[in-house]
Structure 1
């Protein structure tokens, strides 16, 4: 009869969940913003009412020239591109050398998700094809184009159109970082939500985006990042467990 060794039993490690899974918090944030975005989408007069608070002859708040609003509108895409380039450089270096090798997957994620979500999906899938006019372009605010609700493919804009906001997607992208930094998931989620909403306020203050453009940027960005994260599990399976590659 085999003897029972309590020390041997207690020393057996408890399996940890793979970080390939998407945290529930991530899914709830994406779902929550879908619900929020559906409100001005289903009732488009909310989009116009929100824009009128910051634009037009009866605006409540004239924030377009606030210094930090001007800075956000001018530089956020440049800052984001620089961060993506840094991640791409880290990915290249960690792939060719031993330097930073444990974080190779994380560099890859930041680079590829940054390029896909706020880059390709927002600009080339949505902006170029939905062709929604920006607030300053529609008749309600002195422009020649017609207002259209979010999600409707139209012909009221030729390029660099309104739906969805690329600036705001850069802010909400910070939420995606929780996929590679689980111990600070709440902080990354909070930082990303705050960044997205603050940048959204700046874009709306510049009469460049509707409220729905701001809100839809979140789930679109998070879905794009999740697809990249799942895809990378097949390329770097050895770094898909907390013991072998998670940022702590």
Structure 2
């Protein structure tokens, strides 16, 4: 999580945002690669193996978060015991997952940014007009296309990758990138999202992780300690366990 990664992410965000803002039809052209016009459908969404791969990707991502979830629950149930894993890792992993794959996607953009999904627009046998990524005035009422929650969950694997030993970190980042890209391509192939939906998911998630990593680990003024997190959780759990 260094400045080089941030510069790359911001450069990609600017390039993708401007290119697809000026030429929004590029989203339609990329999506058309996965669409079969004669059958008027996205064939891969009917493929059982592809569906298993989609579900499996989410299980993998949540499996990486499971140790932090278990450690937190055990601590809340038994505040007298030390944490089962690094306190900073628990905060970092769960906070970034909640923010990127929950708050910023499902509770914010997907609820109020009315961009229709590819499978529902007229160009792909739907009944809603296509809108560019930057336009929130689409006709989708709820659970809309921008931006991808599953894409954000897949790219969240950058967070556990950031906690791997330095010697393994480049490989972990490469694996997280490949995992996010493949999961995002599946969402596009199913007609669930446009390219800009999954690109935004990856870039926003990376920025959330980069900022959280700096806040928790790197910046002296905000840096947390494992002991401090443990003590804070102990106080929280004890407070809730007090009668009355």
173-182 or 148-157, which deviates more: 173-182
What are structure 1's unaligned runs of at least 5 residues? Answer: 1-21, 241-248
User: Which digits, 9 at most, give the CA deviation of each residue in 1:32-83, with x for residues without a partner?
Assistant: 5314532333311110001111114069x94334444212334544554454
168-177 or 203-212, which deviates more: 168-177
The reply to whether residue 31 of structure 1 matches residue 10 of structure 2 is yes
CA contact (8 A) 1:175 1:222 kept: yes
Aligned to 1:187: 171
SS at match of 1:63: helix
Aligned to 1:236: 224
CA contact (8 A) 1:150 1:212 kept: yes
How far the C-alpha of 1:114 sits from its partner, in A, is: 0.7
181-190 or 214-223, which deviates more: 181-190
CA contact (8 A) 1:85 1:111 kept: no
Matches within 5 A, 1:25-174: 25-35=4-14, 37-38=16-17, 39-57=19-37, 62-77=43-58, 79-81=60-62, 83-93=64-74, 96=79, 97-101=81-85, 103-174=86-157
Aligned to 1:227: 211
Aligned equivalents of 1:76, 1:236: Cα separation in 2: 31
SS at match of 1:190: helix
CA contact (8 A) 1:162 1:213 kept: yes
TM-score normalised over the length of structure 1:
0.76
Task: Mark the CA change 1:25 to 1:190 in structure 2 (over 3 Å): closer, same or farther.
Answer: farther
The reply to whether residue 207 of structure 1 matches residue 188 of structure 2 is no
Aligned equivalents of 1:42, 1:72: Cα separation in 2: 34
TM-score normalised over the length of structure 2:
0.77
Matches within 5 A, 1:13-28: 22-28=1-7
Aligned equivalents of 1:94, 1:26: Cα separation in 2: 34
What are structure 2's unaligned runs of at least 5 residues? Answer: 229-244
Bigger radius of gyration: 1
User: Which digits, 9 at most, give the CA deviation of each residue in 1:220-247, with x for residues without a partner?
Assistant: 111222333344353724689xxxxxxx
Task: Mark the CA change 1:197 to 1:107 in structure 2 (over 3 Å): closer, same or farther.
Answer: same
CA contact (8 A) 1:36 1:215 kept: no
CA contact (8 A) 2:131 2:138 kept: no
Q: How many residues align?
A: 217
31-40 or 110-119, which deviates more: 31-40
Q: CA RMSD in A?
A: 2.7
